Amino acid sequence: MNYSKYWSEEGAKKYGYDSYCQKLVKLVLKSKPKKVYDLACGTGYPFIKSLLKKGIKVYGSDVSPRLVYEARENYPKAKLKLGDYREIVEFSNAFDVSYCFRSSWYMEDLEKMIKELVRITKPGGRVIFDVLNPSATKKEAKQIVKEMIFFWRNGDLKTYSHKVEEIMLVIINMGLKCKLHRIENKVVFEIWK
C-alpha cells in the first residue's frame, strides 16, 4: 500500500477530526484569515473542510495525484494543485496563513519549506507547521514509529527527523518571530514576519 492509498482509504478516517486537528484549526482561525494555503493537503479532510465551512478561501497542494483529485472532488471551492513546497511559484505575500500539518517529517529540506511558506504569506500573517515531538510519551512515540515503519516498508516515503533546536536556528536566522505550542505528540511552530 502506498502513501496515496493509505491516506485515502485509512489515514484520514483513522485520524478524523480528533482533538489534535481541532486544536490546529483553532490555531489557524486565531488570526481570522480570509485566505490560506494548505501544503500537503492530502484529501482535504479535516482542514480544508473545516476552513471552507468558515468561509475562508483555501488554496493548497499535495504530491499525490490521487489525493489532489479526491480533494478537488470533495471540495470544489478549494483551489488545489499537484506539487510540493518547491512548486508554489505563482504566489508571493498572498496568504493570511500558510500551514503544513502532519507532513513536515516527509520534507527533506525543511528550511526550504519554511522559506517558501514565509514567502507566500503576507507580512503579519502566520506560518504554522508541526514536527514530531522528541519528548512524546512512550505510547505516542510507539504510534509515530509504527506509522513511519509502515511507510518505510512500503518504500513509499522517506521520513526525516527535524530537531526543534535546528528549526529554531533557521527561524532566528531568517529574522522571524516564533511561538512554540506543544500539542499532544507534536511540537507546533507558529511563525510570523
pLDDT digits (tens, 9 = 90+) for 101-123: 988 877 888 899 999 999 999 99
Q: What is the pTM of this model?
A: 0.84
Domain residue limits at 106: 3-192
Q: What are the tens digits of pLDDT across the range 29-41?
A: 999 999 999 999 9
pLDDT at residue 1, as a whole number: 42
* Total structural domains within the chain: 1
Sign of CA dihedral 193, 18, 62, 56: negative
Q: How many residues does the chain have?
A: 193
Domain CATH for 85: 3.40.50.150
Higher-pLDDT residue of 127 and 143 is 127
